Amino acid sequence: MTAKKVVVVGGGLGGLTAAALLARGGCSVTLFERSKHLGGRGQTSEVEGFRFNLGPRALARAGAGMRVLGRLGVTPQGSVPGQKGGTYALRAGRLHPLPRGPVSLLTTDLLGLAGKLELARFLGALPRVDADALENVPAREWLRTRVASEEVRDVAGALVRVASYCADLEGLSAQAAVRQLQQGLKGNVLYVDEGWGSLVTRVAAVARDAGARVEVSAKVERVVVKDGRVEGLRMGDGTVLAADAVVVAGAPGDVASLMPGDEVLEGEAAAAIPVRAATLELGLSRLPKPQALFALGIDGPWYASVHSAYAKLGPEGGAMVHVMKYLTEADAEASEAELEVVMDTLQPGWREVLVARRFRPSLVVTHLLPTAKAGGLSGRPTAKVPHVSGLYRVGDWVGEEGMLVDASFASAEVVEQALLRGERHAEPVRMAMGA
């Protein structure tokens, strides 16, 4: 039997994982990445000795990413944040201890006694919430039905934001919000040593070792389809390649532009609302306030975290700090000054010890907000493109499982199942996570 010839378009973590899984399963795999470097949004760059991850990155320990990386023999190194130092809630420009467990809940001045009890009840009941019954319910509405006090709702809303990266709680499906909260409670997250670029390098090595050909600076121009079936693809330089299957591991717009004139794919791309964030990355020679390691906005969509306190991301004694604003469609960009104010509150004096900085006003975190209107995670496009035989997609906007990079890993696994074991198994059985 000749090996199935598969081309993967896109060399981010999703595409590399698909290439590794398929090559290990015996397919003849070629991966093309249009930019000079592998990694996509999972890239890490070195700036003045600091590892900048293109905004903060936290890997869910109970998510699909850890499961699939484990299958590839890749064990991410790093630590779980929150185990040392001060973790704060930021409200009206002031820091308060963030209620995260019984002790901080008792001691925080963020909430009064009634509020503390209500938050404890909300968090205690979370693991038993049936997320899948909430597909069509907006996260904001769900919070209104679960939490009576507005100040507790603000805290719960901030926890949804940090777990999902979504600030649009009117749009976000409560199913997705609850699954992310449950996953966070179950396993917390990992800050990865040397940044996510280290995962990119290791997954790419697994793919190559399994026989995949990986090419950078190679833009795919279009997928060649005949009679509703994939025949191959055409590269930017005009070369045509034959393939039994094509896996596009890019954005919804990338899939549509590879299939010009396909109204279904164009419609999906037009309908996808991206989730965005503004990020400020800072490399400091030292931390002005060594104990102040994390702040989460309660009355605004703010996040600041000293990632180097938990992962190797810079020179000895230095500090690598991520500041972020969660954005919405209506608020799709932020100014650097807005993010600096958050840093002024957490780490006053940071400007005097600044070594490196990088600001991005609007990055795409995930390509599709799983809305209540569209049926939550179940409403996202499937990994197999239903109307084109042999065409698949992978990404943080694909399939029913997970959000963020977990969805990229999970959809790569779905493609593996479809191509190696037959399409009968193409979509996973739905599972309530964390219950």
Ligand X SMILES: Cc1cc2nc3c(=O)[nH]c(=O)nc-3n(C[C@H](O)[C@H](O)[C@H](O)COP(=O)(O)OP(=O)(O)OC[C@H]3O[C@@H](n4cnc5c(N)ncnc54)[C@H](O)[C@@H]3O)c2cc1C
Nearer to ligand X, 66 or 111 (CB): 66
State CA 11 to chain mean position distance.
Answer: 16
Six-digit token string for 418: 């479809």
Is 11 among the residues that bind ligand X (CB under 6 A)?
A: yes
- Using alpha carbons, list the distances in angstroms from residue 276 to 141, 324, 393: 22, 10, 21
CA distance 111 to 107: 10
DSSP E strands in 267-312: the ranges are: 275-284, 292-297, 302-306
Nearer to ligand X, 115 or 370 (CB): 370
Nearer to ligand X, 105 or 343 (CB): 343
Q: Kindly report the number of other CB atoms within 10 A of residue 333's CB atom.
A: 11
Nearer to ligand X, 24 or 146 (CB): 24
Under 8 Å CB-to-CB from 393, ≥6 apart: which residues? Answer: 247, 248, 249, 255, 381, 383, 385, 411
Nearer to ligand X, 13 or 284 (CB): 13
Largest Cα–Cα separation, the chain? 69
Residue in 7, 8, 10, 210 binding ligand X, rule: CB under 6 A: 10
Strand partners, 297: 90
Site for ligand X in 237-256 (CB under 6 A): 249-250, 254
Is 212 among the residues that bind ligand X (CB under 6 A)?
A: no
- Least separation in angstroms between CB 155 and ligand X: 20
Residue in 40, 138, 157, 361 binding ligand X, rule: CB under 6 A: 40
Piece in contact with ligand X (CB under 6 A), picked from 107-115, 150-158, 202-210, 402-410: 402-410
Residue with the two structure tokens 């977990």 = 406
Nearer to ligand X, 173 or 366 (CB): 366
Piece in contact with ligand X (CB under 6 A), picked from 224-232, 259-267, 358-366, 372-380: 358-366
Of 23, 27, 20, whose CA–CA distance to 4 is shortest? 27
Nearer to ligand X, 81 or 171 (CB): 81
Strand partners, 241: 233
CA distance 362 to 327: 8
242 within 8 A of 288, measured Cβ to Cβ: no
Q: Kindly report the number of other CB atoms within 10 A of residue 291's CB atom.
A: 9
Strand partners, 124: none
Nearer to ligand X, 90 or 410 (CB): 410
- Least separation in angstroms between CB 229 and ligand X: 20
Piece in contact with ligand X (CB under 6 A), picked from 3-11, 76-84, 139-147, 425-433: 3-11
- Least separation in angstroms between CB 290 and ligand X: 24
Nearer to ligand X, 159 or 405 (CB): 405
Residue in 24, 41, 140, 153 binding ligand X, rule: CB under 6 A: 41
> What does the DSSP 8-state code read for residue 307?
G
Nearer to ligand X, 53 or 175 (CB): 53
CA distance 160 to 361: 22
Site for ligand X in 173-192 (CB under 6 A): none
Is 366 among the residues that bind ligand X (CB under 6 A)?
A: yes
- Least separation in angstroms between CB 246 and ligand X: 11
- Please give the backbone phi and psi of residue 43, each rounded to the nearest 5 degrees, phi first: -70, 150
Piece in contact with ligand X (CB under 6 A), picked from 26-34, 283-291, 349-357, 425-433: 26-34
Radius of gyration of the chain (CA): 22
- Using alpha carbons, list the distances in angstroms from residue 117 to 112, 139, 148, 290, 296: 9, 21, 12, 31, 20
- Least separation in angstroms between CB 26 and ligand X: 23
Is 390 among the residues that bind ligand X (CB under 6 A)?
A: no
- Least separation in angstroms between CB 31 and ligand X: 9
50 within 8 A of 158, measured Cβ to Cβ: no
- Least separation in angstroms between CB 106 and ligand X: 29
Site for ligand X in 267-306 (CB under 6 A): 277, 279
CA distance 407 to 174: 17
Residue in 95, 363, 420, 432 binding ligand X, rule: CB under 6 A: 363
12 within 8 A of 39, measured Cβ to Cβ: yes
Residue in 174, 391, 404, 426 binding ligand X, rule: CB under 6 A: 404
> What does the DSSP 8-state code read for residue 289?
S
Piece in contact with ligand X (CB under 6 A), picked from 38-46, 74-82, 172-180, 343-351: 38-46
| Interface ranges with ligand X (CB under 6 A) | 9-15, 32-35, 40-42, 54-58, 219-220, 249-250, 254, 258, 277, 279, 363-366, 395-396, 404-406, 408
